Protein backbone atom coordinates (compact mmCIF):
# COMPACT_ATOMS: atom_id res chain seq x y z
CA UNK A 1 0.00 0.00 0.00
CA UNK A 2 1.56 3.29 -1.13
CA UNK A 3 0.57 6.39 0.82
CA UNK A 4 1.13 9.98 -0.28
CA UNK A 5 0.99 12.79 2.29
CA UNK A 6 0.22 16.24 0.89
CA UNK A 7 1.80 18.54 3.50
CA UNK A 8 4.49 17.37 5.90
CA UNK A 9 3.68 19.49 8.98
CA UNK A 10 2.72 18.61 12.55
CA UNK A 11 -0.20 16.28 11.87
CA UNK A 12 1.43 14.48 8.94
CA UNK A 13 4.61 13.96 10.99
CA UNK A 14 2.59 12.52 13.89
CA UNK A 15 0.84 10.07 11.54
CA UNK A 16 4.08 9.06 9.81
CA UNK A 17 5.77 8.59 13.20
CA UNK A 18 2.95 6.26 14.25
CA UNK A 19 2.93 4.37 10.93
CA UNK A 20 6.68 3.76 10.90
CA UNK A 21 6.72 3.05 14.67
CA UNK A 22 4.05 0.36 14.18
CA UNK A 23 6.10 -1.42 11.50
CA UNK A 24 4.85 0.40 8.40
CA UNK A 25 7.28 0.38 5.47
CA UNK A 26 8.87 3.85 5.22
CA UNK A 27 9.65 3.22 1.53
CA UNK A 28 5.89 3.04 0.82
CA UNK A 29 5.38 6.61 2.09
CA UNK A 30 5.98 9.75 0.03
CA UNK A 31 5.47 13.26 1.39
CA UNK A 32 4.94 16.36 -0.74
CA UNK A 33 6.29 19.26 1.29
CA UNK A 34 7.60 22.55 -0.14
CA UNK A 35 9.72 23.47 2.91
CA UNK A 36 13.26 22.10 2.54
CA UNK A 37 14.08 21.82 6.32
CA UNK A 38 10.81 19.96 6.90
CA UNK A 39 11.66 17.52 4.07
CA UNK A 40 15.13 16.89 5.49
CA UNK A 41 13.66 16.27 8.97
CA UNK A 42 11.09 13.79 7.60
CA UNK A 43 13.73 11.90 5.59
CA UNK A 44 16.17 11.72 8.51
CA UNK A 45 13.62 10.84 11.23
CA UNK A 46 11.54 8.31 9.33
CA UNK A 47 13.37 7.32 6.13
CA UNK A 48 10.39 8.34 3.97
CA UNK A 49 10.72 9.73 0.45
CA UNK A 50 9.88 13.42 0.07
CA UNK A 51 9.15 15.67 -2.91
CA UNK A 52 9.22 19.48 -3.05
CA UNK A 53 6.29 19.38 -5.50
CA UNK A 54 3.99 16.84 -7.13
CA UNK A 55 5.54 14.64 -9.85
CA UNK A 56 4.48 11.61 -11.89
CA UNK A 57 5.78 9.17 -9.24
CA UNK A 58 2.56 9.61 -7.23
CA UNK A 59 0.33 8.53 -10.15
CA UNK A 60 -0.55 5.11 -8.71
CA UNK A 61 -0.59 5.67 -4.91
CA UNK A 62 -3.35 3.83 -3.01
CA UNK A 63 -4.04 6.49 -0.38
CA UNK A 64 -3.68 10.27 -0.32
CA UNK A 65 -3.67 12.08 3.04
CA UNK A 66 -4.45 15.80 2.73
CA UNK A 67 -2.66 17.52 5.64
CA UNK A 68 -2.20 21.13 4.56
CA UNK A 69 -3.93 24.15 6.09
CA UNK A 70 -7.38 24.74 4.53
CA UNK A 71 -6.16 27.99 2.91
CA UNK A 72 -3.60 25.93 0.94
CA UNK A 73 -6.17 23.35 -0.20
CA UNK A 74 -6.61 24.54 -3.76
CA UNK A 75 -2.89 25.09 -4.49
CA UNK A 76 -1.98 21.75 -2.91
CA UNK A 77 -4.72 19.55 -4.40
CA UNK A 78 -4.93 20.70 -8.04
CA UNK A 79 -1.47 19.36 -9.05
CA UNK A 80 -2.20 16.11 -7.20
CA UNK A 81 -5.49 15.75 -9.10
CA UNK A 82 -3.62 16.15 -12.40
CA UNK A 83 -0.94 13.60 -11.45
CA UNK A 84 -3.06 10.68 -10.23
CA UNK A 85 -3.91 7.95 -12.69
CA UNK A 86 -5.49 5.40 -10.30
CA UNK A 87 -8.46 5.57 -7.95
CA UNK A 88 -6.95 6.31 -4.54
CA UNK A 89 -8.68 6.67 -1.21
CA UNK A 90 -8.56 10.38 -0.25
CA UNK A 91 -8.37 11.13 3.49
CA UNK A 92 -8.61 14.81 4.42
CA UNK A 93 -7.71 16.08 7.88
CA UNK A 94 -8.10 19.70 6.75
CA UNK A 95 -10.43 21.61 9.07
CA UNK A 96 -13.65 22.79 7.44
CA UNK A 97 -13.03 21.59 3.85
CA UNK A 98 -16.12 19.65 2.74
CA UNK A 99 -16.18 16.59 0.51
CA UNK A 100 -18.13 18.54 -2.14
CA UNK A 101 -15.16 20.95 -2.33
CA UNK A 102 -12.66 18.07 -2.46
CA UNK A 103 -14.61 16.53 -5.32
CA UNK A 104 -14.47 19.84 -7.24
CA UNK A 105 -10.73 20.24 -6.54
CA UNK A 106 -10.14 16.67 -7.78
CA UNK A 107 -11.97 17.69 -10.99
CA UNK A 108 -14.81 15.18 -10.33
CA UNK A 109 -12.51 12.26 -11.16
CA UNK A 110 -14.56 9.05 -11.09
CA UNK A 111 -13.81 6.26 -8.62
CA UNK A 112 -12.24 8.32 -5.84
CA UNK A 113 -13.52 7.62 -2.32
CA UNK A 114 -13.40 10.46 0.22
CA UNK A 115 -12.98 10.48 4.00
CA UNK A 116 -12.96 13.42 6.40
CA UNK A 117 -11.23 13.16 9.73
CA UNK A 118 -10.90 15.73 12.50
CA UNK A 119 -8.06 15.03 14.92
CA UNK A 120 -6.96 17.27 17.83
CA UNK A 121 -3.60 18.55 19.07
CA UNK A 122 -2.88 15.71 21.56
CA UNK A 123 -2.57 13.66 18.36
CA UNK A 124 0.97 15.04 18.10
CA UNK A 125 1.84 12.86 21.14
CA UNK A 126 -0.39 9.98 19.92
CA UNK A 127 -3.00 10.85 22.62
CA UNK A 128 -5.54 12.45 20.30
CA UNK A 129 -9.04 11.49 19.28
CA UNK A 130 -10.29 11.79 15.69
CA UNK A 131 -13.87 11.96 14.48
CA UNK A 132 -14.15 10.23 11.10
CA UNK A 133 -16.79 10.42 8.36
CA UNK A 134 -16.68 7.95 5.46
CA UNK A 135 -18.51 8.48 2.20
CA UNK A 136 -20.82 5.58 1.31
CA UNK A 137 -18.47 4.57 -1.54
CA UNK A 138 -15.60 3.79 0.88
CA UNK A 139 -15.08 0.00 0.75
CA UNK A 140 -14.55 -2.26 3.79
CA UNK A 141 -10.80 -2.70 3.06
CA UNK A 142 -10.48 1.09 2.65
CA UNK A 143 -12.26 1.59 5.99
CA UNK A 144 -9.65 -0.67 7.58
CA UNK A 145 -6.90 1.51 6.05
CA UNK A 146 -8.57 4.62 7.48
CA UNK A 147 -8.78 3.04 10.93
CA UNK A 148 -5.11 1.98 10.83
CA UNK A 149 -3.93 5.42 9.69
CA UNK A 150 -6.03 7.50 12.11
CA UNK A 151 -5.31 5.16 15.04
CA UNK A 152 -1.68 6.32 14.81
CA UNK A 153 -2.95 9.61 16.30
CA UNK A 154 -4.96 8.05 19.16
CA UNK A 155 -8.59 6.96 19.52
CA UNK A 156 -11.21 7.18 16.76
CA UNK A 157 -14.97 7.84 16.71
CA UNK A 158 -17.05 7.21 13.57
CA UNK A 159 -19.77 9.71 12.69
CA UNK A 160 -22.75 8.98 10.44
CA UNK A 161 -23.00 12.32 8.59
CA UNK A 162 -20.48 14.86 7.35
CA UNK A 163 -22.31 17.58 9.31
CA UNK A 164 -21.30 15.79 12.52
CA UNK A 165 -17.66 16.63 11.74
CA UNK A 166 -18.57 20.22 12.78
CA UNK A 167 -19.78 18.78 16.10
CA UNK A 168 -16.54 16.80 16.49
CA UNK A 169 -14.63 20.04 15.82
CA UNK A 170 -16.59 21.76 18.60
CA UNK A 171 -16.22 18.96 21.16
CA UNK A 172 -12.78 17.37 20.75
CA UNK A 173 -11.12 19.49 18.03
CA UNK A 174 -11.40 22.71 20.08
CA UNK A 175 -11.70 20.69 23.32
CA UNK A 176 -8.03 20.85 24.35
CA UNK A 177 -8.39 24.66 24.60
CA UNK A 178 -11.29 24.27 27.06
CA UNK A 179 -9.17 21.94 29.17
CA UNK A 180 -6.19 24.30 29.05
CA UNK A 181 -8.48 27.14 30.22
CA UNK A 182 -9.71 25.00 33.12
CA UNK A 183 -6.09 24.16 34.03
CA UNK A 184 -5.26 27.90 33.94
CA UNK A 185 -8.21 28.64 36.26
CA UNK A 186 -7.17 26.01 38.82
CA UNK A 187 -3.58 27.29 38.60
CA UNK A 188 -4.75 30.87 39.25
CA UNK A 189 -6.83 29.75 42.22
CA UNK A 190 -3.77 27.97 43.66
CA UNK A 191 -1.62 31.11 43.29
CA UNK A 192 -4.38 33.18 44.97
CA UNK A 193 -4.31 30.70 47.88
CA UNK A 194 -0.56 31.32 48.36
CA UNK A 195 1.29 28.74 46.23
CA UNK A 196 4.32 29.58 44.10
CA UNK A 197 3.71 29.60 40.33
CA UNK A 198 5.67 26.33 40.00
CA UNK A 199 3.73 24.52 42.70
CA UNK A 200 0.42 25.93 41.42
CA UNK A 201 1.13 24.51 37.97
CA UNK A 202 2.12 21.14 39.40
CA UNK A 203 -1.03 20.97 41.54
CA UNK A 204 -3.28 21.89 38.59
CA UNK A 205 -1.61 19.68 35.97
CA UNK A 206 -1.36 16.58 38.15
CA UNK A 207 -4.95 17.02 39.28
CA UNK A 208 -6.17 17.08 35.68
CA UNK A 209 -4.00 14.18 34.54
CA UNK A 210 -4.75 12.08 37.62
CA UNK A 211 -8.51 12.68 37.49
CA UNK A 212 -8.65 11.96 33.72
CA UNK A 213 -6.61 8.76 34.10
CA UNK A 214 -8.74 7.64 37.05
CA UNK A 215 -11.89 8.22 34.98
CA UNK A 216 -10.32 6.17 32.14
CA UNK A 217 -9.38 3.13 34.22
CA UNK A 218 -12.47 3.20 36.44
CA UNK A 219 -15.69 1.41 35.54
CA UNK A 220 -17.56 4.12 37.44
CA UNK A 221 -19.09 7.02 35.44
CA UNK A 222 -17.51 10.48 35.92
CA UNK A 223 -20.68 11.78 37.63
CA UNK A 224 -20.44 9.00 40.25
CA UNK A 225 -16.69 9.56 40.70
CA UNK A 226 -17.51 13.22 41.40
CA UNK A 227 -20.17 12.27 43.95
CA UNK A 228 -17.71 9.86 45.57
CA UNK A 229 -15.36 12.75 46.44
CA UNK A 230 -18.17 15.10 47.54
CA UNK A 231 -19.09 14.61 51.20
CA UNK A 232 -22.14 16.46 52.46
CA UNK A 233 -21.13 19.81 53.97
CA UNK A 234 -17.49 19.31 52.94
CA UNK A 235 -14.97 21.33 50.93
CA UNK A 236 -15.73 19.84 47.49
CA UNK A 237 -19.46 20.37 48.12
CA UNK A 238 -18.78 24.07 48.81
CA UNK A 239 -16.95 24.47 45.48
CA UNK A 240 -19.55 22.51 43.49
CA UNK A 241 -22.43 24.47 45.07
CA UNK A 242 -20.80 27.66 43.79
CA UNK A 243 -20.32 26.14 40.33
CA UNK A 244 -23.99 25.01 40.20
CA UNK A 245 -25.23 28.42 41.42
CA UNK A 246 -23.31 30.13 38.62
CA UNK A 247 -24.52 27.63 35.94
CA UNK A 248 -20.99 26.47 35.26
CA UNK A 249 -22.01 23.42 33.18
CA UNK A 250 -24.70 25.35 31.26
CA UNK A 251 -22.06 27.91 30.25
CA UNK A 252 -19.72 25.12 29.18
CA UNK A 253 -22.43 23.47 27.03
CA UNK A 254 -23.37 26.84 25.45
CA UNK A 255 -19.71 27.48 24.65
CA UNK A 256 -19.40 24.15 22.80
CA UNK A 257 -22.61 24.94 20.89
CA UNK A 258 -21.09 28.31 19.85
CA UNK A 259 -18.04 26.43 18.55
CA UNK A 260 -20.25 24.05 16.52
CA UNK A 261 -22.11 27.00 14.95
CA UNK A 262 -18.82 28.68 14.08
CA UNK A 263 -17.48 25.46 12.53
CA UNK A 264 -20.56 25.33 10.29
CA UNK A 265 -20.18 28.99 9.21
CA UNK A 266 -16.45 28.57 8.52
CA UNK A 267 -17.28 25.45 6.46
CA UNK A 268 -19.81 27.47 4.40
CA UNK A 269 -17.24 30.23 3.81
CA UNK A 270 -14.53 27.78 2.73
CA UNK A 271 -16.98 25.93 0.45
CA UNK A 272 -17.95 29.22 -1.24
CA UNK A 273 -14.28 30.23 -1.67
CA UNK A 274 -13.25 26.83 -3.05
CA UNK A 275 -16.15 26.72 -5.55
CA UNK A 276 -14.88 29.92 -7.20
CA UNK A 277 -12.65 29.65 -10.25
CA UNK A 278 -8.91 29.94 -9.38
N1 LIG B 1 -3.05 20.87 14.56
C2 LIG B 1 -4.27 20.46 14.97
O3 LIG B 1 -4.61 20.35 16.14
C4 LIG B 1 -5.29 20.05 13.97
C5 LIG B 1 -6.47 19.46 14.41
C6 LIG B 1 -7.40 19.06 13.48
C7 LIG B 1 -7.16 19.29 12.15
N8 LIG B 1 -6.02 19.89 11.76
C9 LIG B 1 -5.84 20.16 10.35
O10 LIG B 1 -4.75 19.42 9.88
C11 LIG B 1 -4.18 20.15 8.81
C12 LIG B 1 -2.68 20.19 9.01
O13 LIG B 1 -2.39 20.84 10.25
P14 LIG B 1 -0.90 20.94 10.78
O15 LIG B 1 -0.99 21.47 12.17
O16 LIG B 1 -0.18 19.67 10.50
O17 LIG B 1 -0.37 22.11 9.79
P18 LIG B 1 1.12 22.49 9.43
O19 LIG B 1 2.06 22.03 10.49
O20 LIG B 1 1.10 23.94 9.02
O21 LIG B 1 1.41 21.57 8.16
C22 LIG B 1 0.99 21.87 6.86
C23 LIG B 1 2.20 21.68 5.93
O24 LIG B 1 1.77 21.67 4.57
C25 LIG B 1 2.69 22.42 3.82
N26 LIG B 1 2.14 22.94 2.57
C27 LIG B 1 1.63 24.18 2.31
N28 LIG B 1 1.25 24.27 1.02
C29 LIG B 1 1.52 23.09 0.44
C30 LIG B 1 1.35 22.57 -0.88
N31 LIG B 1 0.84 23.34 -1.85
N32 LIG B 1 1.70 21.30 -1.14
C33 LIG B 1 2.22 20.54 -0.16
N34 LIG B 1 2.43 20.97 1.12
C35 LIG B 1 2.07 22.23 1.41
C36 LIG B 1 3.06 23.53 4.76
O37 LIG B 1 4.25 24.18 4.33
P38 LIG B 1 4.41 25.77 4.65
O39 LIG B 1 4.69 25.87 6.10
O40 LIG B 1 5.53 26.17 3.74
O41 LIG B 1 3.10 26.44 4.29
C42 LIG B 1 3.23 22.78 6.08
O43 LIG B 1 4.52 22.24 6.23
C44 LIG B 1 -4.85 21.53 8.77
O45 LIG B 1 -5.82 21.58 7.76
C46 LIG B 1 -5.52 21.62 10.09
O47 LIG B 1 -6.73 22.37 10.00
C48 LIG B 1 -5.06 20.26 12.63
> Which distant-in-sequence residues (6+ apart) come within 8 Å of 113 by Cβ?
87, 89, 90, 134, 135, 137, 138, 139, 142
In 3D space, the residue among 105, 114, 151 whose CA is nearest the CA of residue 130 turns out to be 151
From the CA of 73, give the closest atom in ligand 1.
31
pLDDT value of residue 275 = 86
What is the rounded CA–CA span in Å between residue 119 and residue 158?
12
pLDDT value of residue 208 = 98
121, 130, 161, 245 from 175: Cα distances, Å: 9, 12, 20, 24
Q: What is the pTM of this model?
A: 0.93
From the first residue on, what is the mean pLDDT of each consecutive set of 10 residues in the chain (278 residues)? 96 95 94 97 97 96 97 96 96 96 95 97 95 96 96 96 97 98 98 98 98 97 96 96 97 98 95 85
CA atoms within 13 A on the CB side of 153: 27
The best mutation among 8, 9, 174, 274 to test binding of ligand 1, ranked by most ligand atoms within 8 Å of the C-beta, falls on 9
CA of 217 to the centre of ligand 1 (A): 34
- Residue 209 falls in which region: left (phi positive, over 0), alpha (psi -120 to 50) or beta: alpha
pLDDT value of residue 173 = 97
CA of 27 to the centre of ligand 1 (A): 22
pLDDT value of residue 86 = 94
In this structure, the residue with its CA closest to atom 29 of ligand 1 is: 76
From the CA of 121, give the closest atom in ligand 1.
3
pLDDT value of residue 278 = 72
- Could you tell me the sign of the dihedral formed by the alpha carbons of 112, 118, 124, 125, in that order? negative
CB 77 within 8 A of CB 16: no
In 3D space, the residue among 14, 239, 273, 201 whose CA is nearest the CA of residue 119 turns out to be 14
* Ligand 1 site residues, Cβ closer than 6 angstroms: 6-12, 32-35, 38, 67-70, 72, 75-76, 93-95, 118-121, 173
In this structure, the residue with its CA closest to atom 35 of ligand 1 is: 7
pLDDT value of residue 186 = 98
What is the SS3 assignment for 32?
A: strand
pLDDT value of residue 277 = 67
Burial of residue 271 (number of CB atoms within 10 Å: 0-12, 13-18, 19+): middle
Amino acid sequence: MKTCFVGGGNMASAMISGMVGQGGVAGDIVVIEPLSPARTALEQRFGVRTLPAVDASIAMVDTIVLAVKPQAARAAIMPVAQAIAGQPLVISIMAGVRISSLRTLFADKPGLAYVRAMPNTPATIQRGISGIYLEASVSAPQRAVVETLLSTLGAVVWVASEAMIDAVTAVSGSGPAYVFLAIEALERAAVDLGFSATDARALALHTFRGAAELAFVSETAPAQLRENVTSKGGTTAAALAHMHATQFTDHWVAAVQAAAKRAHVLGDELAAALQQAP
